[in-house]
Amino acid sequence: MALSSAMRTELTQHLKDLHLPTIRECYAEQADKARKEDLAHERYLLELARRESEVRRANRIARLLRESRLPLEKNLETFDRKRLPARVHQQVEVLLDGSFLDRHENVLAFGNPGSGKTHLLCAIGQELIVRYGRKVHFTPCNLLVQELLIAKRDLRLARVLKRLAAHDAIVIDDIGYVQQNREEMEVLFALLADRYERGSVILTSNLPFSKWESIFKDPMTTAAAIDRLVHHSVILELNLASYRLEASKKGKESKS
């Protein structure tokens, strides 16, 4: 038998107070269905709990994707993995199981411009959110450095580092692309030191380690930064022809 109107109002209020919006929306319809199909009370409850959980999970993933600042069009579906060297292909398979985040390992992608570093790492970041609900933050390196500098100036550096520390992975795109001055280098180093063995750093660079002194200025700081990053890490070497160049060549060939 269905509920009286007073009971319906009361139930709706409880479901509101308990923050169960999906159950509130679907309980009546599901109750009709349960009566028709003669389902046990527990089956009805199970169905409601399942729906509430599913919607909650989907909302959480959508929020994590939004907040990650990842360029979402750079995903695994739009990435041609057949272009990858066999070794990198295997490494990517392992990374996609997500356990490197629990080990606080870093992922460092090197290769010439256009080889697909940014696209690949963004795609991995997106999978970590969608498959496992992990918290990922994407930022171009120069933007990150500027944000950290402003935070330092406003005496908020510790607070900003703490907020970043709440992420399972920080994707830092194009480290070393823009020449940095000493102050900029120092805040970047502070971040890397802060994350060491506490959370994963995922980064891309066009510069091999041998040229990182141009980023961190003096040999000691450079060695210290590389040491921390490499200690627990997976290094992806994408020594590939530029995808853009190849695509534009193909375009021209097919036109001629």
Query: Which has the closest alpha carbon to 130: 63, 71, 41, 175?
Result: 63
Which amino acid is residue 238, in one-letter code?
A: L
138 binds, among ligand ADP, Mg ion, none (CB under 5 to 8 A by kind): none
Nearer to ligand ADP, 58 or 245 (CB): 245
Sole window of 25-33, 114-122, 147-155, 209-217 interacting with Mg ion (rule: CB under 5 A): 114-122
Binding flag, residue 116, ligand ADP (CB under 6 A): yes
Tell which one of 68, 118, 180, 222 touches Mg ion (CB under 5 A): 118
Q: Taking a C-beta distance cutoff of 8 angstroms, is the pair 105, 228 a contact?
A: no
Nearer to ligand ADP, 118 or 126 (CB): 118
**How far apart are CB 21 and Mg ion at their closest, in Å?**
40
Query: Which has the closest alpha carbon to 95: 121, 67, 133?
Result: 121
**How far apart are CB 206 and ligand ADP at their closest, in Å?**
7
Q: What is the CA radius of gyration of the chain?
A: 24
> Cβ neighbours of residue 214 under 8 Å, at least 6 residues apart?
176, 179, 207
Tell which one of 34, 68, 79, 215 touches ligand ADP (CB under 6 A): 79
Region for 167 from its dihedrals, namely left if φ exceeds 0, alpha if ψ lies in -120 to 50, beta otherwise: beta
111 binds, among ligand ADP, Mg ion, none (CB under 5 to 8 A by kind): ligand ADP
**Separation of alpha carbons 152 and 64, rounded Å:** 26
Report the interhelical angle of 182-195 vs 141-153 (nearest 10°): 100
**How far apart are CB 73 and ligand ADP at their closest, in Å?**
8
Binding flag, residue 91, ligand ADP (CB under 6 A): no
**How far apart are CB 246 and ligand ADP at their closest, in Å?**
9
**How far apart are CB 251 and ligand ADP at their closest, in Å?**
13
Tokens of 53: 């959980």
State the CB neighbour count (10 A cutoff) for residue 143.
14
**How far apart are CB 94 and ligand ADP at their closest, in Å?**
18
Which residues sit at the interface with ligand ADP, rule CB under 6 A?
74, 78-80, 83, 111, 113-119, 204, 243-244
